[in-house]
Structure 1
């Protein structure tokens, strides 16, 4: 008999130490291998069997207000710590979030992560990646106008990052990023950009990414 997993089966309390104020706190994290991906949208937004990992990917220090994606929460330079202390902490109003993060709470945390990234002068790619997450979260709320705003921010940032920054960007290599730019451009009705960024993917990719690119090519051709 198969057992149906619940969020409490998949989440655990992970301990963090804030690199800004050295406060130790816990935040929910996903147990490795417990949460099965079922499908993904055209722009690679993955759909999971039990819980959306993005809900728990922005880590907020409840003491000082520093917030970042989990992948680089602890990586701050001394000057960045100074900027966070000067520009984030004085304006931070402590708030309580539920144990199991809602979509709206996740959006707030990602917006706080975006603010921290801007204040610390983080890479454009990092900020674009956060905006992409926010767009996807708004998609789950069917908030189409807000989703479109953040998709535009994400695609513009990802294009700039491809030109000026080193890859991979977190878990995205350059070809996958080009595919996402093409897919978002298609979604936004920018078929010229969609074709431009897809061409490199079609020529250089293989496997599942190549299959996705071929499918996207057919969709673009139908609308252009």
Structure 2
């Protein structure tokens, strides 16, 4: 079975065309999951390939929506251009799929999604960074990005419009991230809300287990 393939992308920000290594879906095998549903992969880690970064301007986003993102408004475009130019001065992106390079790409996607006011995807970008730091055995860096992810999930829940189908996932992460960070009362509050409103969702099923673990500990 083949593991990798190359996909051609056109940057929606600068128009540059480039190719990127991707992982075949069938090559991904999950052995288990951590408390926050972080997958433990058997062989290839698709998280290292998930963010697409334009090598010309550093515009970055998840592969599934890289080419479909719309940059609306002159002010948004100017702000994004300025931030990406600053990022290019500070970091160098290599054509490698390593944990260090993946962290850089997720950080860049966090910048892009923040400018575009897509807080859920900022939160997911930070969560993935935390997960990679976990794999690298860097708990302090992991904690820092778990806290950032939690803050973005909180702001997304409070201030943004979102699909009803997204709410179980948002409530689960508000619960589990508070649990990991030691905020027991907050974790319990979000789990109760998840179970009270979305009892039949898959996130509620896992959330119920986490809530029981919290009550026993």
Deviation for aligned residue 1:207 = 5.9
Gap regions ≥5 residues in structure 2: none
Is the contact between residue 138 and residue 147 of structure 1 (CA under 8 Å) also seen in structure 2? yes
Q: Deviations over 1:105-152 (max 9, x none)?
A: 11111112222333x343222211111111111111111001001101
Deviation for aligned residue 1:217 = 1.4
Is the contact between residue 175 and residue 205 of structure 1 (CA under 8 Å) also seen in structure 2? no
Does the C-alpha gap of structure 1 residues 72 and 207 become closer, same or farther in structure 2, counting only changes over 3 Å? Answer: closer
Is the contact between residue 93 and residue 101 of structure 2 (CA under 8 Å) also seen in structure 1? no
Does the C-alpha gap of structure 1 residues 175 and 105 become closer, same or farther in structure 2, counting only changes over 3 Å? Answer: same
Cross-structure match for 1:209: 203
CA distance in structure 2 between the partners assigned to 1:174 and 1:197 by the alignment: 11
CA distance in structure 1 between the partners assigned to 2:189 and 2:93 by the alignment: 44
Cross-structure match for 1:38: 31
Deviation for aligned residue 1:87 = 3.6
1:84 matches 2:80? yes
Instruction: Give TM-score scaled by structure 2 length.
Output: 0.87
Cross-structure match for 1:68: 61
Cross-structure match for 1:180: 173
Cross-structure match for 1:142: 137
Matched position secondary structure for 1:88:
helix
Gap regions ≥5 residues in structure 1: none
Q: How many pairs are equivalent?
A: 211
Does the C-alpha gap of structure 1 residues 205 and 19 become closer, same or farther in structure 2, counting only changes over 3 Å? Answer: same
Deviation for aligned residue 1:91 = 5.2
Is the contact between residue 44 and residue 180 of structure 1 (CA under 8 Å) also seen in structure 2? no
Is the contact between residue 38 and residue 48 of structure 1 (CA under 8 Å) also seen in structure 2? yes
Instruction: Choose which of 49, 56, 65 in structure 2 pairs with 1:56.
Output: 49
Q: Deviations over 1:21-75 (max 9, x none)?
A: 1110011222133312222111111222222221111111101121222233220
CA distance in structure 2 between the partners assigned to 1:108 and 1:90 by the alignment: 14
Instruction: Choose which of 123, 143, 146 in structure 2 pairs with 1:151.
Output: 146
Matched position secondary structure for 2:43:
coil
Instruction: Give TM-score scaled by structure 1 length.
Output: 0.84
CA distance in structure 1 between the partners assigned to 2:147 and 2:87 by the alignment: 28
Matched position secondary structure for 1:92:
helix
Report matched runs for 1:18-37 at 5 Å.
18-37=11-30
Is the contact between residue 20 and residue 84 of structure 1 (CA under 8 Å) also seen in structure 2? no
CA distance in structure 2 between the partners assigned to 1:184 and 1:151 by the alignment: 7
Is the contact between residue 31 and residue 41 of structure 2 (CA under 8 Å) also seen in structure 1? yes
